Chain A
C-alpha cells in the first residue's frame, strides 16, 4: 500500500485535472441544464461518504474489541475523509435541489440522512479533538453507534418523509453520460483511498514516533 500511494495520488490528480473536459464533453441534459454536471461529482462523493462511515465504524470495532492499536489510525483517517466527502455531498446536493425542486433544501430522506451522518462525523471529530487522553476509546464507542445508526437513519427518515421519488438513475444512464460518471467515480475513489492510506500512515507513524520518544530512555 505504501508504495502505491504516490502513483495513486498522481493518477487521481491527473484524472481530476482531465475531468472538467470530459464532463464538458458529456451531453447537455435538457431538463436540469448545466446543474446536471454537478452529478458527476455528487454521486461519487456520496458513495465514498458512506464508505468512510463503514470504514470508520468497522475499524473502531476492531480497535475496541480486537485491541489492535493500528485500527484507530484507520478510523480517524476515515472520519476526517468522511467529513470532507460529506461536505462535498452536502454542498453539491442543494445545487441540484435548487434546480430540481426550486428550493435549496428539502427534508428529503437522503439529504436528511446525509446531514445526520455528517453531524455524527463532526461529533466524533470534536470528541477526538477535545476529549483529552483516552478519547480514542471513547471515539471508538461513539463511532460504533454512529455506524449502527446509518441504516436506521435511512429507514426512519424514509418513512417520515416520502415526497421524494425513489429513483435510482445511475444504472439507466446513457453511455455518454455513464462514462464520465464512472471516470469521475474512479478518480475520486483513488483520491479517497490514497488520502485514506496517507492519513492512516501519518497516524501510525505519529504513534510510532510517540512510542520511540517514550521508549527512548526506557532501555
Chain B
C-alpha cells in the first residue's frame, strides 16, 4: 500500500512541478472559467442585476467547463513525448498512476476555485462566507466526482484522434448527477433563507457518488489502458 501512495505522490509532484514551471494549464483554465462566468452573466443579467438563485448554477458550469479544459491539457502533456506510455510501462501499480494524475488535477482545480468562488460572490452577491465549511465540502466533493471520471476518460482518450471533442461528449452526461448535487447543494446555501439540512443531504449524496466513481475508475483504469 505504501508503494501505491509513493507512486501516486511522485506522479502528482511531477505534474505540479511541470505546472509551476509553465503555469500554462492554471492560467488558461482560470481565464476560461472567468470568461464562462462573464458569458453567462451577459446571457442572464437584466436591467443591471442578475436574477436570484443563478450564482450556484454559473459557478458549477464554470467549474465543469474549465475542468474539462484542464483535463484535456494535462493529458496532452503526457502525449507530447509519449510519456504516458513510459508511465504505463513502469512496474508501478497502474491505479496509483491514475491516483497521482487525479490528485494533481484536483489541486489545480482547487486553485481555480479559490479565484472563481469569490468572483461569483462578488458579481452575484452570493453569501459565500455564510457556511464556509459546507461550501468547501461541496466544492471538494463535487470536483472530486467530476475529476475522477474526467481523469479516467481523458486517459482513455489519449490515443483517440477526436479526443478533444469526445471528452466533453462522454464526460458531461456521466457527471450530471455530480453537477446536480453540486448546484443544488450550493444553491441551498446561497438562497435567501439557507437550508442547511438540504445542503447536508447533497453532501452525503456526493460522498456516496464519489465513492462509487472513484472505485469504478480505479477498477477500470488497468484494463482500459492496455491496448
Contacts and interface: CB of A to CB of B under 8 A. Distances in A.
B153 A142 contact: yes
Given A141-B152, A141-B224, A145-B149, A127 B170 contact: yes
A149 B174 contact: yes
B133 interface: no
A145 B169 contact: no
Considering residues B176, B205, B209, B216, which has the most beta carbons from chain A within 10 angstroms of its beta carbon? B176
A159 B153 contact: no
A201 B85 CA distance: 35
A156 interface: yes
B176 A145 contact: no
Question: How extensive is the interface on chain A, given as a class?
Answer: 20 to 34
A156 B224 contact: no
Q: Which DSSP category, helix, strand, loop or mixed, fits chain A's interface?
A: helix
Interface in B174-220: 174, 176-177, 180-181, 184, 201, 205, 209, 212-213, 216, 220
Contacts, number: 83
Interface of B: 149, 152-153, 156-157, 159-162, 166, 169-170, 172-174, 176-177, 180-181, 184, 201, 205, 209, 212-213, 216, 220, 223-224, 227
Given A126-B166, A131-B162, 12 more contacts: A64-B220, A119-B172, A132-B161, A137-B156, A141-B220, A141-B224, A142-B174, A144-B220, A146-B173, A146-B174, A153-B176, A155-B205
Interface of A: 64-65, 116, 119-120, 123, 126-127, 130-135, 137-138, 140-142, 144-146, 148-149, 152-153, 155-157, 159-160
